[in-house]
Amino acid sequence: MAEDILELYPDSGRRHALHGLYLEQSLAHADDAGRPFIYSNFIASLDGRIALPGANRDTHQVPPAIANARDWRLFQELAAQADLLITSARYFRQAASQEAQAELPLGSSPEFADLRDWRVARDLSPQPDIAIFSASLDIPQSALDYYRERKLFLVTGAAADPAKLAQLTADSDLKVITCGPQAAVDATHLREQLAGLGYRRIYAIAGPSVLHTLAAGGALDRLYHTTAHCLLGGTEFDTFIWGNELQPAVNLPLQAMYLDPLAPDGAGQTLAIYGS
Ligand SMILES: NC(=O)c1ccc[n+]([C@@H]2O[C@H](COP(=O)([O-])OP(=O)(O)OC[C@H]3O[C@@H](n4cnc5c(N)ncnc54)[C@H](OP(=O)(O)O)[C@@H]3O)[C@@H](O)[C@H]2O)c1
């Protein structure tokens, strides 16, 4: 396999193949510490956009100018190491209306067969379980059915609507994790709650509000951040974190950085790893 990824930090000049790049980033220390390791991943443009309005303007989507198969491969490699995914109710609402951009990882297509085998070889469950953040509890049952082979959790606050909660849990296999007194999740104790359920490698693949909730609650250890070297502009966009100013700021020192010159075509992208 061609070694077309150039390491910029810490060993400037080393070359790597794309396949395996993030699988090599062993998350084993999560097991050593006995404490869940929580990580997330975003692709953004140079001007910081992660999503722009989609065709029908009601929902935002990752812009095709930055979405690319090489970054998607790394996204899947990170999922291959996870025992739990954190996603949002928004994903399931979009899935129910056929607007979701992809199935939740691991992808079922042949190109990710090696990653599915990688899990089996390590005695991991075939697919990571799923935790869904929601305050509204507006989660279509039909979209959950696709994932019935996995354990599904609803993460919500104590003030979420009790009637909706009763209905949702009666109609599905969702187990409820209650975090904080409001309807919105306060993630301050999320790490211990997920540890108590036996989870050790937790991959947050939701969007900007969930990332803010995790960062504000001290529940973010590492951020994988791809910057596609292009400008998108636009006035209605998402950036990768959204919420009140974080005070103090959450420090995420650089762990590694790579240059992928091959995608997006004609632009290239830097692959950075921040945190611990
Ligand atoms: N470029 C990238 O790498 C990347 C990565 C991820 C997402 N995106 C894009 O970013 C856009 C926004 O994503 P998103 O809407 O999933 O992101 P989000 O803003 O993180 O999540 C939205 C939903 O998550 C739930 N939520 C968030 N914080 C919560 C909290 N503290 N407590 C309870 N529920 C909470 C809410 O559900 P309820 O409304 O049910 O309460 C909310 O509607 C999408 O277009 C997506 O495609 C891009």
Span 131-175, pLDDT tens digits: 999 999 999 999 999 999 999 999 999 999 999 999 999 989 999
User: Can you give the pLDDT at residue 58?
Assistant: 74
User: Can you give the pLDDT at residue 27?
Assistant: 66
User: Can you give the pLDDT at residue 29?
Assistant: 59
Is-above-0.75 flag for pTM? yes
Residues of the chain short of pLDDT 70, as ranges, are: 26-33, 57
Distance in angstroms (rounded) separating the CA atoms of residues 226 and 237: 17
User: What is the H or E stretch that residue 41 is in?
Assistant: strand 37-45
Distance in angstroms (rounded) separating the CA atoms of residues 22 and 25: 5
User: Ligand 1, from 39, 70, 93, 133: best to mutate by most atoms within 8 Å of Cβ?
Assistant: 133
Record the tokens describing residue 210, joined without a space. 């969930």
User: Ligand 1, from 182, 209, 220: best to mutate by most atoms within 8 Å of Cβ?
Assistant: 209
Atom of ligand 1 nearest to the CA of 179: 32
User: Can you give the pLDDT at residue 33?
Assistant: 62
User: Can you give the pLDDT at residue 139?
Assistant: 96
User: Can you give the pLDDT at residue 262?
Assistant: 98
Please state the φ and ψ torsions of residue 112, each to the nearest 5 degrees. Answer: -105, 15
Q: How far is the CA of 206 from the centre of ligand 1 (A)?
A: 5
Atom of ligand 1 nearest to the CA of 242: 19
Q: How far is the CA of 88 from the centre of ligand 1 (A)?
A: 5
Q: Confirm or reject CATH 3.40.430.10 for domain 5-275, answering yes or no.
A: yes
User: Can you give the pLDDT at residue 157?
Assistant: 98
Q: Computed over its alpha carbons, how large is the radius of gyration of the chain?
A: 18
Bridge partners (DSSP) listed for residue 53: 60
Distance in angstroms (rounded) separating the CA atoms of residues 213 and 216: 5
Distance in angstroms (rounded) separating the CA atoms of residues 142 and 128: 20
Q: How far is the CA of 205 from the centre of ligand 1 (A)?
A: 9
Distance in angstroms (rounded) separating the CA atoms of residues 161 and 166: 9
Q: How far is the CA of 135 from the centre of ligand 1 (A)?
A: 11
Please state the φ and ψ torsions of residue 144, each to the nearest 5 degrees. Answer: -75, -30
Q: How far is the CA of 152 from the centre of ligand 1 (A)?
A: 17
Q: How far is the CA of 204 from the centre of ligand 1 (A)?
A: 10
Q: How far is the CA of 60 from the centre of ligand 1 (A)?
A: 10
Distance in angstroms (rounded) separating the CA atoms of residues 219 and 155: 14
**Residues lining ligand 1, CB < 6 A?**
42-43, 50-51, 60-62, 88-91, 133-136, 138, 156, 184-185, 206-210, 213, 238
Residue nearest to atom 31 of ligand 1 (CA): 185
Distance in angstroms (rounded) separating the CA atoms of residues 208 and 216: 12
Domains of the chain, residue spans: 5-275
User: Can you give the pLDDT at residue 32?
Assistant: 57
Q: In whole angstroms, how far apart are CA 169 and each of 88, 134, 175?
A: 17, 13, 7
* Contact indicator for 260, 72 with CB cutoff of 8 Å: no
* Contact indicator for 135, 185 with CB cutoff of 8 Å: yes
What distance separates the 2 farthest-apart alpha carbons in the chain? 58
